[in-house]
Structure 1
Amino acid sequence: MKIVILVPDGVGIRNYLYSDLITELRKNGAEICLYHKVSDVAIKEIEKVHKIKIEHKEIADLKEGFYLKLLRESAAYARLIYFKNVLKNKTILDFWGKNPKYLKLKVFYFFCKIFGTFFSKSYNRLRRYEIKYENKIKRTSAYKKVKQDLKVSQPDFILNLHQRSLITTPVILAAQELKIKNSTIIFSWDNIPKGRLICRPDMYFVWSDLMKIELCLLYKEISPKNVYIVGSPQFEFYKKKELQLTKEAFFKKYNLDIHKKTICFSGDDKLTSPHDQVFFEDLCSSLQKFPESERPQIIFRRCPVDFSDRYDAVLEKYKNDIAIINPDWRVEKPSQEADFTMIYPTYNDLSLLVNTCLHSDVVVNLGSTMAHDFAIYDKPCLYLNYNPKKDMNWSVERIYQFEHFKSMENLNAVGWITNPTDFYPLLKKALTTPDLIGTDRKLWLKRIIQHPLEKNSINLANLILEKCTSAS
């Protein structure tokens, strides 16, 4: 049997293509082909990890044109309005995120909002325009190209690694016309309310019961029988002994003091946390309150897409307390405004992340999944929960009103730093009595992701193999 994996960008490489998914599929006789939009260097890194040559082909570019893009963006805005009303959560509209600099684009997105508001008045109307978009895609040269590719390669199953990707839409639509079984991953725990499910594949693979319920609630046309809970392989790496260094080896490599407690500061991207450097400064400043003999050290890990110099002054000022361990991600297209579509992680970054979590005592960040990464090792997380600067366009209150944080309800999942003065007492508590901070962190992890974590790749592979052999 032949399985095509759609790789529209670099983010799915770590979570899926470095995992045991390919190994498990090949072990059961499957032939793998990557249909991708990443560099040859990234493909070689995947082949190096699995010690095999992998068939691969570049996905055709999709040129939407004005009308297609207007349909897509208008429908996306309509989805956000609809989700906001269903979930009774105004922050859903924050995911629109369109603030163009140029007049032409301002006018374009103004009309997208006008049409989107009109579409949102009726769910049937919204679906009608989404289907109209799909039908228009079928007239594009990209659709004709991928349809011909699929006729030649004749795969038994197609797995899309990211539900939002525009360039995978023609592939899924062509697969459906050719009666090829197809599916998409819902990539992350916060993705569903963002309204960017481009088309409707045959099957959906989600992390948890929570995600399945949310997906079927927000997309009426999706049947629960077509949504499968498979977890996500991204957490299984923490269970792999071969990625783990001893504390002594890891600390020696990065010039850390084996006798000191260790705090990981995990940076966010500039959109999520525009004043992250102020949070970092407050953290570093608070360490000075510890007696020098008891002062913790900091591992600083920036967000992989943040290439800014905004932390530089703090890193220099407190350099004696900080070890910089940057993510080992490679840039596909160098840019100061790089995003996750332009970069990919090396396999080495898995080891960096695993050992950072394994050998740090607590993580500090603004609402990231690092809370879950640390929970795997039963270690506490402190979420930043105050406004470091006055900002008319951003507030921390808005961040924690996002829908995915409702999964924390009735749980003591993390500690909360609600003021710069909270750093010292909460860090001291987390470092000396970690079991008293975020006592329900493992319960939260179980709500978010299917357990056992180390079985997620195997379960996904088995499900794909089962679907390949079952009758349509």
Structure 2
Amino acid sequence: MKHLGIVIVDGVGYRNFVLSDFCAHAVETFDRVTIYSGLPEDVYSDLNFANLKVKELPVFKENGKTWFFRKLKEVAHLQHHKNDFYGINANLTKNKAVSNSRRAWLTRLVFSITRIFNSERSIKKFYGWQQQSFAENFITEEYFELLRKDQPNVLFFTHQRPPYLALLDHAAKKLGIKTCSFIFSWDNLPSKGRMAAPFDSFLVWSSLMKKELHYFYPKTKDQTVTVVGTPQFEPYVLNRYASSREYFFERFNLNNQYKSICYSCGDISTSQNDGLYIKVIAEALRDKQIPKVNFIVRTSPAEDGSRFSSLKAEFPFIKWNFPQWKLTRENHPEPWSQRVPLEEDLVDLRSLLEHCDLNINMCSTMGMDFMLFQKPVINPVFGNEENGLYNDQKYLRYSHYERVVASGAVAIVKNDQELISAINESLKNPKARLKQQEQLLDLQIGKTLEGTSERILEALLNL
């Protein structure tokens, strides 16, 4: 029996691996498929396959000892690479303690230890201590029993970062189950801390990501690492999510005589200036510095959009798209992870990508979404270390985004007039950066969107 276990940790993983064709192909490729879910079991009610089961994972809460050893492991990784990568150093700085709580003093101790001990050997030692601490958590035994009863041949992690994945990997290794992790996002390797566990094998977006994986995790040079692309964009080539131009204008209540601009927001933790950029565009439209267009704002799925209430009142001509992501569980340690997209939201998103004429966002992966539909992209970054705004220009120095800037695939603008000029120029000459966009997409997404799920499953079958 070929049995595949799939670990889905959050709503984005649900979008990528359930709302794509992945599960439909998985049940054809494997005799049995089991989803181990960090989301409530009932969100999978539409998956009606006889050989697929969903098992809800009990919520894991770290004890103090596990947290301390995990923190040692993660911060040591950041310390080890801080001089080579701006994004790593920025993340390290963000981890520094500022309060006087017990946890803050322990964090300071972590920083003191890892300034000296941050080699791969030290990181391995810290992870060993973290593993030993798992024995003190009753959830460990539940995970072990779950896998012991099911005995999947391969346990596939659709993300590599959430801490509780370390318990599952630990249990799988004790049972002789092979583990494989998909590298979740294009910025996870060059700007984030240590991944949750030393998985047995990996699936990556591109040859570029494979090189990054080998650099940050030298041991992976001796492991199986397969380039498969990413299911993040696969819904854009699935017919069930397509819509007509007529639907687009009707759905968002737009004037079909005008071109359309979409501003896509990040969340407040990284994109605090969204409101400023929306206001600059709205005022330019009101003052006729930009030709008449439909102006649509799509907020982050991780938020409810309430931070834009004053803009809604001040500029009633702005059309708002609040992503249809349902909160499936409250009182969770990471409530944002429990938001799950509806299929209707993917229809809305694809409609925006396909039928809008221009995208504006602050250094988001959403730029690639629009590039896949050959649309121009503008990145406003007004904030720096001197002007009092949230410093979003720092993201231009993160290695994954340095490549975007260097490619010339997007327009980078740093003040009001540059933003307004870039909007007018992009509306007038939308294909000006098309060649650069195609080159960037080839670099970042190593395979065609068509067949992504099949490639992933073939790689898992080969394990």
TM-score, structure 2 normalization: 0.92
* Residue in 2 that maps onto 1:14: 15
Query: What is the aligned counterpart of 1:231 among 220, 229, 232?
Result: 229
CA distance in 2, matches of 1:398, 1:276: 15
Q: Alpha carbon RMSD of aligned pairs, Å?
A: 2.4
* Residue in 2 that maps onto 1:354: 350
Q: How has the CA–CA distance of structure 1 residues 339 and 430 changed in structure 2, closer, same or farther, with 3 Å as cutoff?
A: farther
Structure 1 residue 453: Cα displacement: 1.1
Matched residue SS, 2:277:
helix
Query: What is the aligned counterpart of 2:258 among 240, 257, 260?
Result: 260
CA distance in 2, matches of 1:333, 1:452: 35
Please tell me whether the aligned partners of residues 331 and 342 of structure 1 are also in contact (alpha carbons under 8 angstroms): yes
Query: What is the aligned counterpart of 1:78 among 76, 79, 102?
Result: 76
Q: How has the CA–CA distance of structure 1 residues 365 and 455 changed in structure 2, closer, same or farther, with 3 Å as cutoff?
A: same
CA distance in 1, matches of 2:275, 2:99: 25
Moved more, 175-184 or 307-316: 307-316
* Residue in 1 that maps onto 2:101: 103
Please tell me whether the aligned partners of residues 382 and 389 of structure 2 are also in contact (alpha carbons under 8 angstroms): no
Task: Kindly provide the CA deviation profile for residues 78-110 of structure 1, in whole angstroms up to 9, marking residues without a partner as x.
Answer: 11111223xx22331322434576623322322
* Residue in 2 that maps onto 1:463: 459
* Residue in 2 that maps onto 1:406: 402
Matched residue SS, 1:386:
coil
Please tell me whether the aligned partners of residues 59 and 167 of structure 1 are also in contact (alpha carbons under 8 angstroms): no
Query: What is the aligned counterpart of 1:296 among 293, 309, 324?
Result: 293
CA distance in 1, matches of 2:53, 2:3: 11
* Residue in 1 that maps onto 2:35: 34
Q: How has the CA–CA distance of structure 1 residues 51 and 284 changed in structure 2, closer, same or farther, with 3 Å as cutoff?
A: farther
Q: How has the CA–CA distance of structure 1 residues 409 and 418 changed in structure 2, closer, same or farther, with 3 Å as cutoff?
A: closer
What amino acid is aligned across from residue 25 of structure 2 in structure 1?
A: E
CA distance in 1, matches of 2:194, 2:123: 14
What amino acid is aligned across from residue 203 of structure 1 in structure 2?
A: S
* Residue in 2 that maps onto 1:396: 392
Matched residue SS, 1:351:
helix
Please tell me whether the aligned partners of residues 279 and 388 of structure 1 are also in contact (alpha carbons under 8 angstroms): no
CA distance in 2, matches of 1:406, 1:291: 30
What amino acid is aligned across from residue 264 of structure 1 in structure 2?
A: C
Matched residue SS, 1:164:
coil
CA distance in 2, matches of 1:100, 1:342: 29
Matched residue SS, 1:222:
helix
* Residue in 2 that maps onto 1:69: 67
**Structure 1 segment 37-186 matched on structure 2, within 5 A:** 37-44=38-45, 46-47=46-47, 54-85=52-83, 88-96=84-92, 97-98=94-95, 103-120=101-118, 122-138=119-135, 140-186=137-183
Moved more, 91-100 or 394-403: 91-100
Task: Kindly provide the CA deviation profile for residues 43-89 of structure 1, in whole angstroms up to 9, marking residues without a partner as x.
Answer: 22x52xx677841222244443222211111221111111223xx22
* Residue in 1 that maps onto 2:189: 192
Asked if residue 331 in structure 1 is aligned to residue 327 in structure 2, the reply is: yes
Q: How has the CA–CA distance of structure 1 residues 200 and 426 changed in structure 2, closer, same or farther, with 3 Å as cutoff?
A: same
Count of residue correspondences: 459
Moved more, 401-410 or 364-373: 401-410
What amino acid is aligned across from residue 251 of structure 1 in structure 2?
A: F
Task: Kindly provide the CA deviation profile for residues 227-255 of structure 1, in whole angstroms up to 9, marking residues without a partner as x.
Answer: 11111111111112321111112211221
Percent identity among equivalent residues? 24
CA distance in 2, matches of 1:337, 1:145: 19
Please tell me whether the aligned partners of residues 267 and 303 of structure 1 are also in contact (alpha carbons under 8 angstroms): yes
Structure 1 residue 389: Cα displacement: 9.7
CA distance in 1, matches of 2:398, 2:373: 26
Q: How has the CA–CA distance of structure 1 residues 281 and 72 changed in structure 2, closer, same or farther, with 3 Å as cutoff?
A: same
Moved more, 230-239 or 50-59: 50-59
Task: Kindly provide the CA deviation profile for residues 112-167 of structure 1, in whole angstroms up to 9, marking residues without a partner as x.
Answer: 222222322x3322222223322432564323222222121111111111101222
Moved more, 243-252 or 26-35: 26-35
TM-score, structure 1 normalization: 0.91
CA distance in 2, matches of 1:74, 1:11: 28
Structure 1 residue 310: Cα displacement: 2.2
The gaps in structure 1 that reach 5 residues or longer are 468-472
Structure 1 residue 187: Cα displacement: 0.5
Q: How has the CA–CA distance of structure 1 residues 53 and 255 changed in structure 2, closer, same or farther, with 3 Å as cutoff?
A: farther
